[in-house]
Structure 1
Amino acid sequence: MHRRVYLAAVGTAVSAGLAGCSSAISTGGDGPCAGEDCHIGMNRTEFLPDVYEISVGDTVVWKNTSEADHTVTAYDDRIPDEASFFATGGFEDQESARHAWQGQRGGRLGPRETFEHTFDVPGTYEYFCIPHERAEMFGEIIVSE
């Protein structure tokens, strides 16, 4: 009898601990960022949340909430045609951002640093972290009218 009570309590604790671990579209309040300080945080190999939904004209603030260096780099071919490319370091395209990172860690977003970008064109924007791309550190911004 005591074993069942124990297992039920452990099961409940594990379920509660895992709640919210799945990816979901966020419009704020999830992960290490909530409010004006930042909208999207980062751990060692993830953007938190990895999908974020906003409206045209909104500004998104990423904050490196981990101890590792990161980048926020748009994929050239995965943003709307009329949209501006964005990357930490202010690079004009994905190739320049990659080259700068490989040479001098250009575009580095150090711990507790922030980066922001305003989205003026509706559509889906996919981005990544250059040093953690192999670990599948990807994110997506969905911009609606």
Structure 2
Amino acid sequence: MYRRRFLARVGGGATVGASAALAGCLDEGYDVGMTADGFVPDELTVSVGDTVVWENTSTRNHTVTAYEGGIPDEAAYFASGGFDDERTARDAWHDDFGGRLENGDRFSHTFEVPGRYDYVCIPHEFGGMYATVFVEGE
């Protein structure tokens, strides 16, 4: 039922702009939703010090996993499951579904360094489930 409510809000299709999709997410208390095969929105701009909340709004299991080479050098690494690096996050997923977010689970990260942050859902990476957070500020 929750999934239907989410899809109804974002219109269930690509014709809805990111701002409309984001507005639906913010109404629910999260910034980025996860559909069966994508992050909504797939690009988000925030300010230094902001916390981004992801919620799995899908019935499929997902991860939020930063690409180590896709975040600023000074930035803290982030991944659902609390892993310290990308290799550990990937190994944990492949060994025991580590970092898994099930329907309704949330993950958050506070961005302290400006720049571009690219991240992925490990099990759906080859299906194109990756996204970016742009952090503006000092």
What TM bracket, shorter-length normalisation? 0.7 to 0.9
Query: Is residue 72–residue 127 contact of structure 1 (8 Å, CA) maintained in 2?
Result: yes
Q: Which residue of 1 aligns with 2:9?
A: none
Q: Which residue of 1 aligns with 2:52?
A: 60
- For 1:59, give the aligned amino acid: T
1-side partners of 2:43 and 2:31: how far apart? 11
Q: Which residue of 2 aligns with 1:119?
A: 111
Overall identity of the aligned pairs, in %: 50
Normalised by the length of structure 1, the TM-score is 0.81
Task: Tell me by how many angstroms 1:19 deviates.
Answer: 3.2
Q: Which residue of 2 aligns with 1:10?
A: none
**Is 1:70 the equivalent of 2:62?**
yes
Mark the structure with the bigger radius of gyration.
1
- For 1:19, give the aligned amino acid: T
Query: Is residue 116–residue 134 contact of structure 2 (8 Å, CA) maintained in 1?
Result: yes
Segments of structure 1 that go 5 or more residues without pairing to the other structure are 1-16
- The alpha-carbon distance between structure 1 residues 31 and 67, as it changes in their structure 2 partners (threshold 3 A), is farther
Q: Which residue of 2 aligns with 1:11?
A: none
Q: Deviations over 1:30-59 (max 9, x none)?
A: 275124610000101100000000000000
Normalised by the length of structure 2, the TM-score is 0.85
Runs of 4+ in 1 over 4 A off after TM superposition: none
Task: Tell me by how many angstroms 1:131 deviates.
Answer: 0.2
- For 1:105, give the aligned amino acid: F
Q: Tell me how many residue pairs correspond in the alignment.
A: 125
Coordinate RMSD, CA, aligned? 1.8
Q: Deviations over 1:50-99 (max 9, x none)?
A: 00000000000000000000000000000000000000000011100000
Flag the structure with higher helix content.
Answer: 2
1:20 pairs, out of 1, 11, 16, with 16
